[in-house]
Amino acid sequence: MATTRAMPATDALSPATAAACALLDAFVALGVRHVVLSPGSRSQALALAAADLERQGRVTLHVRIDERSAGFTAVGIGRETRTPALVICTSGTAVANLLPAALEAHHSGVPLVLLTADRPPELRGVGANQATQQPGLFGSAARFAHDALVPEGAGGEAAEMRRLAARAFVAAAGEAVQGVAHVNLPFREPLAGAPPEWFVRGEAQETEEIVREAQALLPDPPEPVTLEDGPRTVVVAGADAGPDAELIAHQGGWPLLAEIVSGARFGRHAVRGYRGALVDPELGGRIERVVVVGHPTLSREVAALLSRGGVDIIALRGTDEPLDLSGSTRSADAVAVAVEEIDRDWLGSWMRWSRAHAVDLETAAPDSEALASTDPKTRLGAVRAELEAVRTPLDRAQLVAGLWRATWPHDRIVFGSSRLVRVADEVLAGKKVPVHANRGLAGIDGTIATALGIALASQGEGEPGTTRVLLGDLAFLHDVGSLLLPEGEPRPRIQLVVGNDGGGTIFDGLEVAKIASAEAMDRVQLTPQSADLAQIARAYGWEHVRATTRSELDQALTAAISGPQVIEVPLDR
């Protein structure tokens, strides 16, 4: 006769809960302030502990039903704060759905801690429900991976969990290079019970001890590579370079070739039209040394430079995968500029090129004299010219210019991987604003979720600003599930500016367009779509605005908003 097992009482002791409380408490002591979780059964001890930390005001909790969205939301938080968010999920395919975010974090050097609940060892490999081989699932993308012991309620388990938190935190965020830490947590039933009294009261345990333990794990500061004057040098700034690239260029008196996604396109040394300059024999052809900061990905001209033999290339290490396209690139954890005399001729030649190749996307100022003329014909002509200017349909250059024009240092801008980011790289001037982009693998997945994470992190504590996202229609549709914000979740000020040209028109400019038939090109590369973005936005509770002219775009971008918004801009193929 079959027997049934009674469910544990709500106040029953649960080793899983005790371990989860000790682990999360230690992460908070180390500086973690954001937890992103997706619901599940095996992870309930972790989830309930996180909810209690939210009640205590010790963390900000974000709930997502889709683990892929959860992972990229955490990537966005890590990008903005440079402190890892914890991602909590249940076992099985839930863990596998974190892989795209883990890969992006690994290749971008973004701090991220994954806490994955698991079946105990006796239920692995025997056909148990929701059980797979989770240890090692993230492979080389995880710079730290640990399959924890199953909590049994024995003495010393809480201390072991705290030590595990210290190791994971330092691996993800405490070194010169940041990345992914994966802690796999097998639990046996009862999967949840009453939390320890100290945890309910919000009494952090052994905070100073755990901080000392983490500090003891930190490596010694790296020795910098000294950059002296002499070689004709340029500074290349790729994704995630940030202000460091501009500072190096300024200290050395060197031209700054900054991708638009670098966050370094500002200052007196930033070169406009740098792609053309790189193929000019009097500029790009005379380069003797390159200092690379961040991950350059947007232009073939930069890739060709970094692959060139006979050039001394020093790349600042930002990830666990060193940049070495030439086979002889020197990797450095830090650089020190020791230039005694700036090469004014070298810098001046680049600055002259920059001035000559600046793209002016501003419309002419209104003709105030004509508008005030007493001659009706003159006045009517001036009014007609102004109307034509504001009614001109948007092209890609005007779209990216409008977005750049509306964004200020208290805002955030996120570039999706699409045709539009390349247009932005070609035409936009310098401006010191915080810029983000998932260029580690340059994929379109997770763009919306990443931007939401950036918005949530940057707008905490009542901080001002709007997060603006420039993406194509396919990138929008690929991550459309991230528009879902469950009840009770904050709705940040975010504008998804979608350039809708009906498909993947980026392929029109690649080799495939020269060899594929029109039918095959549309079928397997362009992948045309006619989705109604307005209805999609409304279904998820986002405001939708359609902008077809510059004046409509400017109005949409600068109008006061209180929550999420989709701004759709129709574009020609």
527 in the same domain as 419: yes
- Give the range of the structural domain holding residue 186, as residue numbers without chain letter: 15-217
Domain boundary among 191, 217, 243: 217
Same domain, 233 and 136: no
By percentage, how much of the chain surpasses pLDDT 70?
A: 95
Distance (Å, whole) CA 529 – CA 446: 19
CATH of the domain at 440: 3.40.50.970
Query: Over the chain, what is the mean pLDDT?
Result: 93
Does one domain contain both 417 and 482?
yes
Same domain (yes/no): 46, 133: yes
Q: Which residues contact 5 (CB under 8 A, 6 or more apart)?
A: none
237 and 276 inside one domain = yes
Q: Is 1 a member of any domain? A: no
> Sign of dihedral through CA atoms 67, 70, 75, 78?
negative
From first CA to last CA, the distance across the chain in angstroms is 70
Query: Is residue 364 in some structural domain?
Result: no
Residue 376: the pLDDT is 79
| Pair 451, 533 in one domain | yes
Q: 289 and 396 share a domain?
A: no
Same domain, 62 and 107: yes
Give CA–CA dist 245/238, Å, rounded: 9
Does residue 494 sit in helix, strand or coil? Answer: strand
Confidence of residue 363 (pLDDT cuts 50, 70, 90): low
* Of the candidate ranges 97-111, 355-369, 395-409, 420-434, the one whose mean pLDDT is the lowest: 355-369
User: How many domains is the chain partitioned into structurally?
Assistant: 3
Per-residue CA distances from 109 to 155, 299, 337 (Å):
37, 21, 24
Q: Does 352 share its domain with 308?
A: yes
pLDDT surpassing 70 at residue 6: no
pTM: 0.93
pLDDT at residue number 377: 75
- Residue 466's nearest CA partner among 406, 420, 416 is 406
Reply yes or no on whether the pLDDT at 385 is more than 70: no
The CATH number given to whatever domain includes residue 288 is 3.40.50.1220
Q: Is residue 495 part of a domain?
A: yes
The closest of 413, 412, 450 to 85, measured between CA atoms, is 450
Per-residue pLDDT tens over the stretch 117-162: 999 999 999 999 999 999 999 999 999 999 999 999 999 999 999 9
Q: Are residues 239 and 176 in the same domain?
A: no
Q: How far apart are CA 209 and CA 213, in angstroms?
A: 6
Q: Where are the alpha helices (DSSP H) in 87-206?
A: 93-96, 99-108, 157-173, 197-200
Residue 114 included in any domain: yes
The pLDDT score that the predictor gives to residue 388 is: 67
pLDDT, one tens digit per residue, over 538-550 is 999 999 999 999 9
d(CA 494, CA 459): 10
Q: Would you list the DSSP string of 454-465? A: HHHHHTGGG---
The pLDDT > 90 percentage for the chain reads 84
The confidence band for 13, taking pLDDT boundaries of 50, 70 and 90, is confident
Of the residues 171, 186, 217, which one is the last residue of a structural domain?
217
Q: Which two tokens stand for residue 285?
A: 């052809």
pLDDT, position 364:
58
Q: Which of the four pLDDT bands, split at 50, 70 and 90, describes residue 509? A: confident
Q: Which of 176, 193, 217 is the last residue of a domain?
A: 217
**C-alpha span between 44 and 335 (Å, rounded):** 46
CA triple 16-18-23, angle to 5 deg: 95
Q: Cα separation of 440 and 156, whole Å?
A: 40
* Residue 387 covered by a domain: no
* 503 domain-assigned: yes
Residue 184 and residue 42 share a domain: yes
Task: Judge whether 102 lies within some domain.
Answer: yes
State the Cα–Cα distance between residues 464 and 457, nearest whole angstrom: 12
| 72, amino acid identity | F
The answer to whether residue 529 scores a pLDDT higher than 80 is yes
pLDDT mean over 10-16? 75
Residues 502 and 558 in one domain: yes
